Amino acid sequence: MPKLDRYLLGDFLQSFLATLIVLLTVSLGGVLVDVLGEIADGGLPARLLLSQLGLQLLVYLPLVLPLALMLGLMLSVARLYRDSEMAVINAVGVGPRRLLRPLLMTAVPVVLVVAACSLWLGPWAQRAGAEMVEQANRSLIVAGLEPGRFTSLPNGGGIVYIDRMSEDGRTLQGVFLHREREGRVDVLTASEGELQFEGERERFLQLRDGHRVEGPLGGTLDFRMMRYAANELAMPDRTDTRERDDPVLLPTRTLLGDKRAEANAELHRRLAPPLLALAFALMTLPLARSSPRQQRYGRLMLGFLAYLVSANLLFIGTRMLAEGELPAMLGLWWLTLPLLALAIWMYLRDGRLSRPRRAAA
């Protein structure tokens, strides 16, 4: 490999990795806030925090990597112009087109990683996260019920305290349940209990040999006390549980034969990020061109704004495809192909070196 290619490749990679670390840190904070919000609402067990955080980060990588690639390359190329290195390179007869090889050596692996995350790792992470939450809902241990601890049930289902629990989390002993609904308070105690299932989502807590006290929350004394041999209580479940045939959870190969509009929209949403990453990588050289004393952050903001507009069009187009407002054959090609053609045209136009002017005789 020529020395110039090694030098440019190393500079491109360092700038890209530094930008990627910053963007991943910011994205990790946003994903953490979303996951903590689901845990606070009771829709996600607290013990799944780290696993869900890692899986959701894989889902966001197809959006973070193209932006990191574009910003990293623009910062590197702008530094070449600012430090007059590009002027020296042009002076020896090397034009911007000569930078295509180190540029593609940096961009192509990133585009392949974006394609893998968008087409395979992202859907796999969605399915794995949904399965982990479903298994958590079928186990009291993972759902957060622990011996000797008061636990709030999801969706305002009440507060539960248990004295002892079996190893598999199915059988409980010494159960206390307090819940409020429709202006009345309900307190139940039981010597033992067991978690029962009906279908895939409905859970019931079967209590045996206990007492129940029910009454108003106001100042009246309209209370009732009863003793029961067996009592079944419906456990609250997540309200946003996805269906198994949700296109977001299906593999990409399955989406190819799915005729639903939602499946077609999801398929095009997965195909778009690699093409957008390649297009923005080719735009970096024309967008980063500047004079040695010119500020480099103005063009950087222009590239960032172009990425935001393209990402918003991607989300809007996906929604319109899912709702049938766009033809299924059109997909998102109206966004990716013109943008890729524009990037190629900008790169070829920028790669032309101006001919020296001849002095008049």
Spatial contact of 236 and 153, defined as CB atoms under 8 Å apart: yes
Which of 161, 149, 133, 125 shows the shortest CA–CA distance to 45? 133
pLDDT at 43: 64
pLDDT at 198: 67
Q: Measured between alpha carbons, how far apart are the two ends of the chain, in Å?
A: 44
pLDDT at 333: 93
Report the predicted TM-score, pTM, of the whole model to 2 decimal places: 0.75
Distance between CA atoms of residues 167 and 18, nearest Å: 46
Residue pLDDT tens, the chain, 361 long = 678 888 888 999 999 999 999 999 998 888 888 888 877 665 677 778 888 888 988 999 999 999 999 999 998 888 888 877 777 777 777 766 778 888 899 999 999 999 999 999 999 999 888 888 777 666 554 455 667 778 776 666 678 888 888 776 667 888 888 888 777 888 888 888 887 766 555 667 788 888 888 888 876 777 888 888 888 877 665 545 567 778 888 888 988 888 889 999 999 999 999 999 999 999 988 888 776 666 666 678 888 899 999 999 999 999 999 998 889 888 899 999 999 999 989 888 875 544 545 545 4
pLDDT at 347: 85
pLDDT at 41: 63
